[in-house]
Amino acid sequence: MYNIAVIPGDGIGREVMDACIKVLDSLDIDFNFTYGEAGDECLEKNGEALPDETIELAKSADACLFGAAGETAADVIVRLRQELNLFANLRPVKSYPNTNALFDNLDFMIVRENTEGMYIAKEEEYTEEGAIARRIITKKAERRIIDYAFQYAKNNNKSKVTGVHKANVLKVTDGLFKEILYEVAKDYEGEIEVEDFYVDATAMYLITRPESFEVIVTTNLFGDILSDEGAGLVGGLGMIPSGNIGEDGALFEPVHGSAPDIAGQGIANPMAMLLSACMMLNYLKEYEAEERLNDAILEVLNEGKTLTPDLRGTATTTEVAEAIIDALN
């Protein structure tokens, strides 16, 4: 039995999570789902956006599913990544049919360092002149994420890792990242090719030749921005899952937000949440179930009959979940 922490969060997070749990319940796997609170409504109700009980629930689980948070997202998801030491953020960029994808054949992974860079809690402060933010880059964290990217490439039949930085301007911090990139690459010489680009050039290449990428590895802020650009290539945030991986735990979440403009209408696209569940199944080494769920999602998308409004359909969130369950059976 797998103990899964479930944190629906705010807005459409609850709706897509309900759909996801229904689909997971239809698999022949023994899950024990335990729910925790977090997000805007939790803050209003309990006086804190992320209670200690929810943190402990996530730490003790085999894996965690997270829906979405609203204005408190930084207080919730960034802190969860820190508390659980989830150092690797995985953002797949993959084309699916009937999803407004700009390209038909994309399938690459963005591996983003998750614990340092510009997103460290309490590393911003006001000054008399304005404000200041500190960017922290350590040898340990960058070596760990870069090695993870190469290992991911090796394990997933990818032949190239692209390091993304701005070492021509950030000569010390990103210079260190680039130096470590090529040090780690030596351990995979003859197996995995390595290249590096400036982040601004990469932003252009994602538009002009995205099919050239296989695995991108980069620092926290750059990875956050580039992964949303990647989402735009393949149908938007409603189609992008993510995994946050640590040495002793993992959290899986869609990258869309709480979408208050459509929350409560029952029309949120659950695909990113369901694809995040596929990533969880892979993490749990339930490879057969992962393949079945991926195939069911692909079948529903290929048919194009049961799609939410963001994909030019008229289906509800629940109807999409039911169609996927039918495809599984």
Number of residues written out for the chain: 329
Q: What is the mean pLDDT of residues 162-172?
A: 97
Say how far apart CA 242 and CA 273 lie, in whole Å. Answer: 9
- Is the confidence at residue 123, as pLDDT, over 80? no
Q: What is the mean pLDDT of residues 140-156?
A: 97
Say how far apart CA 218 and CA 290 lie, in whole Å. Answer: 27
Tens-digit pLDDT profile for residues 196-223: 999 999 999 999 999 999 999 999 999 9
Say how far apart CA 11 and CA 257 lie, in whole Å. Answer: 8
- Is the confidence at residue 122, as pLDDT, over 70? no
Q: Can you give the pLDDT at residue 88?
A: 98
Q: Can you give the pLDDT at residue 78?
A: 87
Residue 102: pLDDT band by 50, 70, 90 thresholds? very high
Q: What is the mean pLDDT of residues 17-30?
A: 97
Q: Can you give the pLDDT at residue 74?
A: 85
Say how far apart CA 146 and CA 188 lie, in whole Å. Answer: 12
- Pairing relation of β-strands 241-245 and 250-254? antiparallel
- Which has the closest alpha carbon to 284: 61, 21, 108? 61
The residue among 179 and 73 whose pLDDT is bigger is 179
The conformational region for residue 48 under phi > 0 = left, psi -120 to 50 = alpha, else beta, is: beta
**Token reading at 87:** 């150092």
Range with lowest mean pLDDT among 29-33, 124-128, 239-243:
124-128
Say how far apart CA 74 and CA 119 lie, in whole Å. Answer: 9
Q: Can you give the pLDDT at residue 237?
A: 85
Domains of the chain, first to last: 1-87+238-329 (3.40.718.10), 102-233 (3.40.718.10)
Tens-digit pLDDT profile for residues 265-285: 999 999 999 999 999 999 999
Residue 129: pLDDT band by 50, 70, 90 thresholds? very high
Name residue 123's amino acid.
E
Sheet containing 63-68: which strands, arranged edge to edge? 31-35, 2-9, 63-68, 250-254, 241-245, 88-94, 107-113, 215-218, 160-165, 193-198
- Is the confidence at residue 174, as pLDDT, over 90? yes
- Which has the closest alpha carbon to 76: 21, 10, 132? 10
Q: Can you give the pLDDT at residue 186?
A: 98
For residue 23, give Cα distances in angstroms to 83, 254, 262, 284: 29, 16, 22, 17
State the chain's mean pLDDT as an integer.
Answer: 96
Residue 118: pLDDT band by 50, 70, 90 thresholds? confident
Residues carrying an active site annotation: 119, 166, 200, 224, 228
Give the number of other Cβ atoms within 10 Å of residue 261's Cβ: 8
Q: What is the DSSP letter of 70?
A: S
Q: What is the mean pLDDT of residues 182-208?
A: 98
Q: Can you give the pLDDT at residue 235?
A: 86
- Is the confidence at residue 84, as pLDDT, over 70? yes
